[in-house]
Structure 1
Amino acid sequence: MASSKPSADLRLDRFIATVTDFSRSEAKRLIKAGEIEVEGRVASDAGQLISPDAEVLLRGSPLRAPKPRYFMLHKPQGYICAARDRRHLTVLDLLDEDNPERLHVAGRLDIDTTGLVLLTDDGQWSHQITSPNRECWKQYWFQCAEPLDENVIRQFERGVFLKEEKTRTLPAKLEILSDFEGRLQICEGRYHQVKRMLGAVGNAVEVLHREAIGDIFLDADLAEGEYRPLTEDEIASV
């Protein structure tokens, strides 16, 4: 299960920047000015490594790492998975939370793709989802332009070559729901992968919706644009 505290030692200046609104450079100035104490002693080294349980005081007041946050969001079309953008709304614009800019997306979706998006400020947790070494399965429902057949199932099981890439996709699981509708499970996160996989077999995605990431399924009670905190079991499943 994901911890509510950092699991590794941090530089003192980075710790201060993480748990406050100060920048790293501002944190260094606070340390230089003698306003930071670590375990009862005035700190002087911004690069000092501190444990997650260390007592750190700023002007006599304790600084504590905030409890990590984990959310699932039902992403609508028209929103991008970024912290900020000059031209488009982002998924962070849908959140009514303190300091939403500290959250990041664990597994992005295209602007026209709907469905499950996970947001957190726990980088180690999100790495378990996005790391190519973890093979975290994602499940998508799609509608396509051309009829599906059993041959596409076999092609996806073997892996296909995407345009301008030299390696096959890892084996994927396709369930044909109707002639123009399918459910696809993939364990990679290549750029526009589902759309490009359909393109590699002479088809095209017309509608794409993510249903699940690992064992976390989009809550059926969430309308587009709505979100909720993850349960303890959902957090621990990653």
Structure 2
Amino acid sequence: MRLDKFLCTCTGLTRIQAKRVIGKGHVKVDGVVEKDQKVKINDSHEVVYDGRRLRFSGPRYIMLNKPDGAVCTSLDDDYRSIFDLFDIERVEDLMIAGRLDVDTTGLVLITDDGKWSHQITSPKKHCRKRYYAVLAEPVTDDVAQQFSEGVMLKGEKQPTLPAELEILSPKEVLLTIHEGKYHQVKRMFGAVNNRVVELHREQVGEILLDEELAPGEWRYLTQQEVDSVNHS
């Protein structure tokens, strides 16, 4: 995590305020004044602001921009785990609030707060997720209507919940779903004789993927982002 974001999370300062106090030399990292707001901070660093050591307390809430080729599990013989991307303490305590396939990129929420995770993953909560998808074939005009009514997936006894499809171009769409069936987005397009060739999750509930996060980068959620799940 960048130093300015760390300062914001621990103190409640705005990003502008954090940059200002860092630039004025009010922040020390491992005993040395640090004026580079972009320097990376992890749990092993000692960060002191105005004589007070800053540290995360309580449950942790993280957003990750998942890269292609990483798996949402702790162990896999063929692919690297997303947990390898974190240089923090007690990684083993973290859980994923909604996994993504190995070839799907984008927003993954990670926490050690089980109740908070349940708000996202429980089928009864109908937490919305928005995906950007590139398709193998042009999407037909009737697909949006089919998705809004729900479609039957192979092996399921009930149709999907109504979903919203926004067509960006003949082969590019945004799809918002309100449940999390196994491989749901790919199976929905399979049900209408199409195929997903690229999939990227942009949003979970009210939480949007931070555009400043490159693939493989992460940050702690703001309090507003955390509360948006608790209040949904």
What TM-score results when the alignment is normalised by the length of structure 2?
Answer: 0.73
Match runs of 1:71-150 below 5 Å = 71-150=62-141
**Structure 1 Cα separation of the partners of residues 88 and 143 of structure 2:** 43
Any conservation in 2 of the 1:83–1:104 contact (CA below 8 Å)? no
For the pair 1:184 / 2:186, whether they are aligned, the reply is: no
Give the aligned partner of residue 164 of structure 1.
155
Any conservation in 2 of the 1:80–1:90 contact (CA below 8 Å)? yes
> What's the Cα RMSD here?
0.8
Deviation (angstroms), 1:72: 0.2
**Which amino acid letter does the alignment assign opposite residue 174 of structure 1?**
L
Deviation readout 1:105-134 (Å, 9 max, x if unpaired): 100000000000000000000000000000
**Structure 2 Cα separation of the partners of residues 68 and 83 of structure 1:** 20
SS of residue paired to 1:156: helix
Give the aligned partner of residue 41 of structure 2.
none
**Structure 2 Cα separation of the partners of residues 113 and 70 of structure 1:** 21
Deviation (angstroms), 1:87: 2.9
Identity of aligned residues (%): 57
For the pair 1:227 / 2:215, whether they are aligned, the reply is: no
**Which amino acid letter does the alignment assign opposite residue 102 of structure 2?**
I
Deviation (angstroms), 1:86: 3.0
Deviation (angstroms), 1:84: 2.2
**Structure 1 Cα separation of the partners of residues 73 and 210 of structure 2:** 22
**Which amino acid letter does the alignment assign opposite residue 111 of structure 1?**
V
**Which amino acid letter does the alignment assign opposite residue 86 of structure 2?**
L
Structure 1 residue runs of 5 or longer lacking an equivalent are 1-65
**Structure 1 Cα separation of the partners of residues 113 and 157 of structure 2:** 33
For the pair 1:173 / 2:185, whether they are aligned, the reply is: no
